[in-house]
Structure 1
Amino acid sequence: MVSVLFLFVFTLMIAQLTSADLPGTWELLVPNAGIASMHTAVTRYNTVVLLDRTNIGPSRRMLPRGHCRNDPNDVTLKRDCYAHSVVLDLKTSEIRPLMILTDTWCSSGQFLPDGTLLHTGGDLDGLRKIRKFQPCEADGFCNWVELKDVELVHGRWYATNQILPDGSVAIVGGRATSTIEYYPPRKSGPVLFPFLAEVEDKQMDNLYPYVHLLPNGHLFIFANNKAVLYDYEANKIVRDYPPLNGGPRNYPSAGSSAMLALQGDFSTAVIVVCGGAQFGAFIEKSTDTPAHGSCGRIVATAPDSVWEMEDMPFGRVMGDMVMLPTGEVLIINGAQAGTQGFEMASNPCLYPLLYRPDQPLGLRFMTLNPGTVPRMYHSTANLLPDGRVLLAGSNPHVFYKFKAEFPTELRIEAFSPEYLSLDRANLRPTIEGIPETVSFGESFDVSVSVSLPVVGIVEVNMGSAPFATHSFSQGQRLVKLAVTSAFPDGDHRYKIQCTAPPNGMVAPPGYYMVFAVNQGVPSVARWVQLVA
């Protein structure tokens, strides 16, 4: 009762601040995307792929005439002419429907080194499916392709994908699946991973495990409230980390996790896990049990690491953690009570938070300008190349339901962090020249222009394009490159010499958004392919 009263009073105090008092701005990008996106990914063509379930019934976007999905086993529509995946052109805000055949409910994904989006699993007829989306220019006609010559060995519903240093992908776990398999498939097939079964409880809090590739080449895998360091080549657990206090974090308790920016000599990796529901809220189907606001932070590469604990200003369940180009983390979306699942949460958390990892303990969180659209179950958040964060989805219902306390949400918004405010516009750099492709360890030049004279170091940071779903961004990564001081190269122009990441353990091969960051203000990114 005390915690509920405190939460109410604190929220009331924050609400008394006007939006002008808090950093960040909101804008509506698309009034009606046609689908509620539970899976979202940004492509190197500055388009956004959005995905929902296929067996959810009518969406608000039709497929092109003559294109329908025929499924005699679909309990809602046996002949389905509605889109359940679309692609958004960020330049024009136009939506193009995509055809996808099998069920993608609670599936997983990851970009391959050539920029193709690999999409795996789902429910029912999608349980073992492997699909690919090869992005194209916004006016192109690229579409989903379901592979016919290969499928997953084990069903993957609520699994997590992570690209590896050689460009292959580990597909970890899933409901009732305590194994790991790989794409391209390995001759040895899936390998047992008993850790997932050991940490499962009656809430199923081992689903969508948090998987991070560390710069030492091992995988940090977190499920429920425990984590291990996994050598995937030898198929063995190298070490167990101490349990994280505060109850289970993975689905359905819906905390979130991010690996902080890799920098310096790239030998250190820090993992943060924040938020989640109280244990038992999912079992009891309680919508008003306050979410907890604790965060754990651990140096995953240290031999004797322990969790450092701190509290967010709000309890939050189903929050999304987005790595910003600066190395800070935006925590956005979710609710302050209940748990993840259909109609199992209440009290939407409209206030984003900025997590500033370089600040002292207790001073790392900044409360930002609140939105107005609740983003509850099945919502997503993705970094865009211009530094904004795209917010999509929210459908806490089994089917689309537009008359409800928290209706199915078809609007797409963008949140602009404070670094995009008008008073910082003169600090914003523009990348004038950068190679389209760089190799591991290669030295290369980046040319930038800035209105005001440069003071200090201009950072050059590489951000991946993750697959965002269920409060975790699969494959999310930010790498701060080694750079020289910017030296003048003409009127308002500067040249910066950079060194690419040394290997695929620090940054797996693929396409990255590369940002120049001047005094905390990022440029619009340029897409660069990192190759071996």
Structure 2
Amino acid sequence: MNNRRARTVLALLSCCFCLSLAQQPGRFNIVLQNAGISSMHTAVTHYGNVIFLDRTNIGPSAINLVGNCRDNPADMMTTHDCTAHSVIYDPSSNTVRPVFIYSDTWCSSGQFLPNGTLMQTGGSSDGGSIIRYFTPCSSGSWCNWMESSTNLQSSRWYASNQILPDGRIIVVGGRGVYNYEFQPTGGQFYLQFLKDTADFQDDNLYPYLHLLPSNLLYIFANRDSILLNYFTNTVVRKFPTIPGEPRNYPCSGSSVMLALDTANSYSKAEVLVCGGANQASFKNSDAQYGASQTCGRMEVTSNSPYWDMSYMPFRRNMGDMVLLPTAKVLIINGAQNGSQGYLLASNPILNPLLYDPDKKTFEIQAPSTIPRVYHSTANLLPDGRVLVAGSNTRYTYQYTGPFPTELRVETFSPAYLDATNDWLRPRIAKNPFTITYGMPFSVDVAIPGKLVGNIQLTLLSSPFTTHSFSQGQRQLKLPVAASVLSYANTYYVASTAPPSSVVAPPSYYMLFALHNGIPSQAVWVLVTS
């Protein structure tokens, strides 16, 4: 870094740090004192309720099953278990319902299918090759986990999933597994890249997967990344190595693909990777090495890609990165020292950061009072809040000592939800339930007062979040052809659906309207052919 750039970075950091607590934007609220489980895996369904999921072989949880118990002779802790290890959380009522799940889901992966069903894959012990399905239902209805009669082709622990344009799921990697497979149909293929990035502590687990608008798959593991043509099962490009520390589990940073934009016909894709840990931090946890303070950003569709590096105000590992309706990135949860793993981190970081992709700046947000370290999650809700859950640094549930098992659930409300913005806040008054690739559609958007600037529309997927990576997270800025006053401060907004399933794989998405940068409550739309 040259001296001029270094001075600029330091000035920006100094400006961020000078904010007092009262000036720091956003706010945390504890919405549930006891969820019954500490969620290791979290996903928001198109009904707006939330799936919380933990390991099953962790011993008793803090919530009982209803009507039955789980008898599993393969369980390492409790072969006869009458407590739940998955619950459904209803944000509207702040209540949870226990859900039965059988095989071990420890460090597993998942992704929503085109019909809104969650496919959940792998785990440990008896769950390593299991495929599970959760078909969501509305609040007050009964829905449960089901195990498939067919298995994964490899046993996968710490793998990652990504939905493809044809609706299949690609499942990549896992501990000691150097291949990928397609589900529910398709073959299995060796990938040398996974073996090459498996160092002495396997810093290539939970690889970052991003489906590019070129219909190629970007895969990042450890410090390296490739472009995979999954049709021909060939690596078509190797990207530059990111400077600094390893970025995947157990040295976990996080990653997102920034919003795809209609302004460039959705052709430009940029990947952001932030945080990580010293390579020796997992094997030598007593040293409590400082985490990474850097972010790397790369335009992976460029002919000459390179890592544009920047510094966060804080060191961070185990951070979760959440795409907000504004296309900014919230970086939340984590610690400043150590690595992922049971009791291997210290110095929890309570302040989220807000990254602005246009300005390439970080803004410190108001802090939480709850450390969220190993096995924490963060997911966007349709109302624009970010749901934060989990944190369990032990093999079992323990409620005393350093970093006890955390059962509380909280939300982070970005500044766009402040009451001072209510006069700008739009409301989607009428919307389509299905939009078809390449076809026009319209939305009626109500504005409290006078229209200020333009109305924008954005689509956001609902990812499966675990271990600091939200699998399948995706955002699109849609075109707005016209915003015409229709009736009573309500505007007819004309747009066009994404051009193909390569740009937006078939699934349910949250559709937000934005007025002068302030988002509406989202509505769920099915994007399909």
> What is the TM-score normalised by the length of structure 1?
0.95
CA distance 1:89–1:168, shift in 2 (3 Å): same
Corresponding residue to 1:223 among 215, 221, 224 = 221
The equivalent residue for 1:101 is 102
How far apart are the structure 2 equivalents of 1:466 and 1:165?
Answer: 16
Deviation at 1:200? 0.8
C-alpha contact 1:287 1:345 (8 A) present in aligned 2: no
Corresponding residue to 2:249 among 236, 243, 251 = 251
How far apart are the structure 2 equivalents of 1:78 and 1:158?
Answer: 24
How far apart are the structure 2 equivalents of 1:204 and 1:480?
Answer: 36
Deviation at 1:166? 0.9
The equivalent residue for 2:281 is 281
The equivalent residue for 2:139 is 138
CA distance 1:324–1:13, shift in 2 (3 Å): closer
Corresponding residue to 2:42 among 40, 43, 50 = 40
Deviation at 1:455? 2.2
How far apart are the structure 1 equivalents of 2:76 and 2:272?
Answer: 41
The equivalent residue for 1:151 is 151
CA distance 1:223–1:268, shift in 2 (3 Å): same
The reply on whether 1:260 has 2:262 as its aligned counterpart is no
How far apart are the structure 2 equivalents of 1:183 and 1:72?
Answer: 28
C-alpha contact 2:245 2:292 (8 A) present in aligned 1: no
C-alpha contact 1:457 1:485 (8 A) present in aligned 2: no
How far apart are the structure 1 equivalents of 2:267 and 2:343?
Answer: 43
* Partner SS, residue 195 of structure 1: helix
Query: CA offsets per residue over residues 82-112 of structure 1, 9 Å max, x none?
Result: 0000000111011000000000000000000
Deviation at 1:40? 0.1
Matches of residues 100-499 of structure 1 in structure 2 within 5 Å?
100-148=101-149, 150-186=150-186, 189-263=187-261, 264=263, 265-286=265-286, 288-359=288-359, 361=360, 364-499=361-496
CA distance 1:412–1:279, shift in 2 (3 Å): same
Query: CA offsets per residue over residues 484-517 of structure 1, 9 Å max, x none?
Result: 2311111111011011000111100010000001
Q: Which amino acid aligns with 1:437?
A: T
* Partner SS, residue 88 of structure 1: strand
Deviation at 1:19? 3.0
The reply on whether 1:506 has 2:507 as its aligned counterpart is no
The equivalent residue for 1:6 is none
Deviation at 1:139? 0.4
Query: CA offsets per residue over residues 198-242 of structure 1, 9 Å max, x none?
Result: 111012111000000001100000000000011001100110000
* Partner SS, residue 195 of structure 2: helix
Deviation at 1:30? 0.8
C-alpha contact 1:456 1:485 (8 A) present in aligned 2: no
Deviation at 1:288? 2.5
Gap runs ≥5 in structure 1: 1-9
Q: Which amino acid aligns with 1:37?
A: S
The equivalent residue for 1:58 is 60
C-alpha contact 2:498 2:504 (8 A) present in aligned 1: yes
How far apart are the structure 1 equivalents of 2:223 and 2:449?
Answer: 48
How many residues get paired? 516
CA distance 1:13–1:172, shift in 2 (3 Å): same
Query: Mean Cα displacement is larger for which, 119-128 or 276-285?
Result: 276-285
Deviation at 1:15? 8.3
4+ long deviations beyond 6 Å: 10-16
Deviation at 1:73? 2.7
* Partner SS, residue 409 of structure 1: coil
Deviation at 1:12? 12
Query: CA offsets per residue over residues 120-171 of structure 1, 9 Å max, x none?
Result: 00000000000000000110110000012x1101011000000001111100
Query: Mean Cα displacement is larger for which, 172-181 or 485-494?
Result: 485-494
Deviation at 1:75? 2.9
How far apart are the structure 1 equivalents of 2:238 and 2:72?
Answer: 45
How far apart are the structure 2 equivalents of 1:502 and 1:204?
Answer: 39
Deviation at 1:11? 11
Identity of aligned residues (%): 50
Query: CA offsets per residue over residues 419-452 of structure 1, 9 Å max, x none?
Result: 0011111111000011100110110011000112
How far apart are the structure 2 equivalents of 1:17 and 1:505?
Answer: 42
Q: Which amino acid aligns with 2:69?
A: C
How far apart are the structure 2 equivalents of 1:290 and 1:63?
Answer: 41
C-alpha contact 1:286 1:339 (8 A) present in aligned 2: no
* Partner SS, residue 369 of structure 1: coil
C-alpha contact 2:209 2:218 (8 A) present in aligned 1: yes
Query: Mean Cα displacement is larger for which, 102-111 or 455-464?
Result: 455-464
C-alpha contact 2:335 2:346 (8 A) present in aligned 1: yes
Q: Which amino acid aligns with 1:296?
A: G
C-alpha contact 2:108 2:120 (8 A) present in aligned 1: yes
* Partner SS, residue 50 of structure 1: strand
RMSD: 1.5
